[in-house]
Structure 1
Amino acid sequence: MAERSRVVVITGASGGVGRATAREFAARGDRVALLARGEEGLAGAAEDVRQAGGTPLEIPVDVADFQAVDAAAERVENELGPIDVWVNDAFTGVFAPVSEIGPEEFRRVTEVTYLGYVYGTKAALARMLPRDRGAIVQVGSALAYRGIPLQSAYCAAKHAILGFHESLRTELLHDGAGVATTMVQLPAVNTPQFEWVRSRLPRHAQPVPPIYQPEVAARAIVRAADRPRPREYWVGGGAVQTILGNRLAPGVLDRMLARSGYASQQVDKPYPRGRMDNLWEPADKSGEHDFGAHGSFDERGRAVSVQQWASRRSGRLTAAAITTGAAAATATWRLLRRRRG
């Protein structure tokens, strides 16, 4: 239990990881501002927060609009109090090859998934820096380090967030600021995004296994908010192997993903007819479905991450992560050499 009730802002709070994170903060008695577009999802998230013991504040907002985000931050401070934690989690994407994604779609993904983080961070900094305290958590992905096929717009935005985060972190360290920023790099997570993401794939999209439940991500985000001084947190063995494997043998991963990256992101079932996506407007509009935190892969979702437990012991994590990544890269290289032979 936190020593005092904090004021937490979460973007993308209506579903998936943002929804699970709202519940995790609420269980500590925190006051949680929920920022998202979908009315049904926001109402459901607010009820989750109340049931968990927190105080919710629903604010419909499109994070691609800086003025709207800044106004939301002002409302939070007026109604809940000074913001202690800001979590950037909102995103959108398009599942398709680069040649099949339109320029306007690339722009929209960039505005939501990258600039939405920039706008949220600036709104938080404008209020935290004068008080010289606060924590900003950027929810990232192993795909901030490793691009994969069929998700070019999303991967590019996550790469951009990482660069933005590193620049901001060095500036805060230079200034000796009491405000800290950290980034949480997530693995594949069982969220509703695979139900509502825009897709031109022939089959239903899925997260690349191993798949984790959103509560695993939520616990890591809350821990990062409590201890935001490390530059980043890696969650899940899959994320560790992806990040370190890419550092050690990026060319090997290029060839692996060229062979398996299409099939591993699809399951053998079609999307339902008339399905909405959330690129331009929320899939959970008023009077329609509240998607919640979980997607359709519960039977394959892992509820615990051994690596996340290890991350609380940073020295051991570093050694274990290097060993894991090196082993993964070596095994991959040997596999490819056998196939060539």
Structure 2
Amino acid sequence: MEDWIFGIPTPVAMALIALIGYFLGKRNQRRVSVDQAFARRELKRAKSIAKQLEEISREVRRNLASHQSSIAHFKDRIALMSSDEKQGDESWQTLCEEAERMLSPTIRLSAQIANAYDEVRQQANLLMTFTESRTDPLTGLSNRRALDDSLESLFAMKDRYELTFSLCILDVDHFKKINDEFGHLEGDRVLQEVASLIDNCVRETDVVTRYGGEEFVVLMPSTDLEGANMFAERVRFAADEQLKVTVSGGVAQACASDEPKTLLARADAALYRAKGNGRNCIYSHTGECVLPYPLPNQEELDQQLETEAGLLEEVRSLERSLENRPQRVAEKSAEIEVETV
């Protein structure tokens, strides 16, 4: 007589249990794989930050040692002149000139210490992105809070030391369609793969954040607009080739009049243009206008400008039509009243 478990034949029940165990094991294996990749990535970043802090400390220590030697030499000269009463005005003049020469490196050293403090603060902010409150749980990247802190630090460095940096917003194209057709689990998998791809394309000093939904923001210190455009294009090409999904990008370089909100707004405007021009492309905001990357040839550029001028004229014509509409309605109403009378 065949045994039954919960109303199901024992062989069938055992097969179901084994199948469930297999899928659970695969799911846990994927989660472990993601966690291990995240841990390796964060360890690499931590080592890079520790190395930079060590270099800052070594440079300050070397300059302090050199300066201390100069002070000791100066002290010996003063002692020698004090013991020799025959030293004249000429020797004292030489000593004063030497004191002035020492003052210049003292000022430079003071500025360097202040610079080192700002750099240490910036690296400390990067270290803070490792904490759970600054990490996106799905992708393991930094979150919006970490982005705000990093932007504040970079703008402080830009204002004090004229640091150049750029920002890039990357957006997964047709992501809602992926969720609708394949489900949210598949959408989450796509986001994790895109996040991993972006993180593998950046330098150790760059900050990668999940901005919200399917959007990612990359902060690139010491990077001009051209360099940021090249990075965004590299990510776009890699996503299309390796993941079979497309991304659009908007790029902007921080300028003198920028603050965090305006820089993000300019990059977002470039992204909006990329979305409106067919997706799977990169646009950048120069501070004056939005341009595609790479730039088209002169004929294509003239055609694009002509098209945009035509659209602008259509908008203005529509605006004039709307402005004159109340007057035409009033005239038509008057004609109807006359005909009625």
| TM-score after normalising by structure 2 | 0.24
Q: Which has the higher helix share?
A: 2
Q: Which structure shows the bigger proportion of residues in strand conformation?
A: 1
TM-score, with length taken from structure 1:
0.24
Structure ranking higher on relative contact order (CA contacts 8 Å, 6+ apart):
1
